Amino acid sequence: MKRHDSFVFILIVLFCFIAGTINAQNQINIKNFGAKGDGKSNDYEAFLAAANYINKKGTGELLLPKGVYLLDVYNVGTSGIKNIQFENVTNLKILGMEAVIDVKGNFHRGINKLHKGFYYSNSTAIVPLSFKNCNNIFISGIEINGNVDKMTRDSNVMETGGRLMVFNSCKTVKLKNLYLHHAQSDGLYISGNSSNFTASNIISANNGRQGMSIIHLINGSFKNCSFINTGFTEGEYGYHAPGAGIDIEPNSNGPGVENVLFDSCTFTNNKGSQIVISSPKYTTNIIIRNSNIDAQKGNSGYQLILAAKKVRLENSYIDCGPGNLCPTWNSQPGSEVIIKNNIIKSASRGILSTDKSPLSHVLIENNTIEYTGNEILLSYFPYIQSNVSFINNKIVIPEQFLKPKGISSLIQNATISSGNKFYSYGKEIKPNVSYTGTKTVND
């Protein structure tokens, strides 16, 4: 080896050594802070110390080896118990190796105060992973159990806190292979001036209020994620409305929600709605595609609410169970919605659209819409009384469930109804359809 080459080789080795040393300095093991991970010892102080250490450094990588990490505390008024919060951190990694964070749920939420007609409790589960003003976060390989199935409460106690993973004004976040379940309230909560989230293989299940709430987010991608069984907490605690799979609910005092994609996701068996999007003024460009939406165990008449600007629901399987798909919302005009190439089933009205505002525009095209009830139609299928373009859809109603007299389907006040065909057991039929107020009819 020539002298020049030897010098270059030494520089490379030295660089790799320094880089490895820097990485090792940033990488910490939760057990170095005293965590046992045996499912019996209280590891709360270890997690708090690890978060404080990383917060002071402003960066870091936290390893959670295989084990069950019990956080055996909960908030009681002014007890001083804090959430595990990472704040003002850049380049943060939390890597679990089959790690379970077990949040204390074995306590009672009694009524402590009455405010504006609502009852509140000072007792609340802690948030085991909370992030504020953080940038460039990667989290993977962790299960968080909120243990709400062990929790009890006085009647009518409102939800406060008790989420499993919270992001407030965080940017460039990547979540992968997480199981978030049995939260007192929400599995995942995104708020503040948050942006650029990507999530894959997330399961949020059996949470008390929501699988995920998005208050503020610009640019988000959720792929192969499941938001399931919200409200079915499997204990005495019960649930809190809306009990949805996901709820996009921006506040009017923030940047709103823009550019969020749900691809190949599952929204099933949530006690309330499967998907709630209900603020056209502050929500735009939401895409749901290639997904499975099944509400057979839901109890809401509004299983999907898609009231926002530039919403697309496409290439998905949707069973509304006893409820309906609502592309508009009367109290929130201004929706721009495309529903295309889906299979839509419902034991009620199928598609329910009654917002007559000229600000709302809905295209329903190339869908198969099937009535799955077991009795003669009590209402209409579908039930459209708004500014909708209803084109090339296949409507399936078993013949024995058609009304023997009167109208079975409403496509009223639509912009156009064209190319739609009605079927019963594979044969094309001609049910009684009301097109009153529809500008162009060519079915």
Q: For residue 411, how many other CB atoms are within 10 A of its CB?
A: 28
Give the pLDDT score at 78. 67
Dist. CA 199–CA 427, nearest whole Å: 44
Burial (Cβ within 10 Å: 0-12, 13-18, ≥19) of residue 6: exposed
Question: What's the CATH architecture for 26-442?
Answer: 3 Solenoid (2.160)
Dist. CA 234–CA 132, nearest whole Å: 31
Task: Locate the domains of the chain by residue range.
Answer: 26-442
**β partners of residue 194:** none
Using omega within 30 degrees of 0 as the cis cutoff, is the peptide bond preceding 280 cis? no
Give the pLDDT score at 15. 38
**β partners of residue 423:** 396, 428
Give the pLDDT score at 25. 58
Q: Tens place of pLDDT for every residue, the chain, 443 residues?
A: 444 444 344 334 333 333 333 345 578 999 999 999 999 999 999 999 999 999 999 999 999 999 999 999 999 976 789 999 999 999 999 999 999 999 999 999 999 988 888 899 999 999 999 999 999 999 999 999 999 999 999 988 988 899 999 999 999 999 999 999 999 999 999 999 999 999 999 999 999 999 999 999 999 999 999 999 999 999 999 999 899 999 999 988 778 999 999 999 999 999 999 999 989 999 999 999 999 999 988 788 999 999 999 999 999 999 999 999 999 888 888 899 999 999 999 999 999 999 888 889 999 999 999 999 999 999 999 999 999 999 999 999 999 999 988 899 999 999 999 999 999 988 898 889 999 999 999 99
Give start and end residues of each alpha helix (H) in 68-124: none
pTM for this predicted structure: 0.92
User: 214-232 as b/e, with b when 16 or more CB fall inside 10 Å?
Assistant: bbbbbbbbbeebbbbbbbb
Give the pLDDT score at 357. 87
